[in-house]
Amino acid sequence: MPNSKFSAINPERFKMQIKDELRGDTGIISLKGKLMGTPETENLHDEVRSLLNQGAKKVVLDMGGLTWLNSTGVGSIMRSYTSVMNNGGILSLANLSEKVQNLFFVTQLIRILKVYNSVEEAIQSHESE
């Protein structure tokens, strides 16, 4: 039997965890892991729609636990942004790692999306709008 240099892939390490919270009219979605494809991207958009259906007008994506995203993940965030804007709301990002922030800078999406250092900073900014 030949020696295999490949180890079994642990699918758990690729899963993204999503947690949401509603504070008044602000929905907070905390992401942990990698946002790189289905079903994670669909789950994110479902969470955004759910918060909108519960009355959220402002949505903050807490990306502090996000380790990476690819073009599919970026597309999901933009799709979520469009859904929130079409409902007359605001979507912003908080706690971006340097690597993720650089991705938004290179793609110039940093000009479209509001980015904050913390969830609290984003919420305070929303209150003044």
DSSP string, 70-118: -HHHHHHHHHHHHHHHHTT-EEEEES--HHHHHHHHHTTGGGTSEEESS
User: Which pLDDT does position 9 carry in this prediction?
Assistant: 39
Yes or no: say if 52 and 68 are a contact pair by the CB < 8 Å rule. Answer: no
User: Which pLDDT does position 10 carry in this prediction?
Assistant: 39
12 within some domain: no
1 within some domain: no
53 within some domain: yes
Token pair listed for 47:
């969470």
4 within some domain: no
Yes or no: say if 47 and 29 are a contact pair by the CB < 8 Å rule. Answer: yes
What are the Cα distances from residue 29, in Å, to 25, 52, 59, 79, 108? 13, 12, 7, 15, 23
2 within some domain: no
User: Which pLDDT does position 8 carry in this prediction?
Assistant: 40
Q: What is the CATH number of the domain that holds 74?
A: 3.30.750.24
Host domain of residue 23 = 17-123
User: Which pLDDT does position 14 carry in this prediction?
Assistant: 53
CA–CA dist 33, 24 (Å, integer): 27
pLDDT tens digit at each of 129 positions of the chain = 444 343 343 344 457 899 999 999 999 999 999 998 888 889 999 999 999 999 999 999 999 999 889 999 999 999 999 999 999 999 999 999 999 999 889 989 989 999 999 999 999 997 776
* Cis amide leading into 39 (omega within 30): yes
How many domains in the chain?
Answer: 1
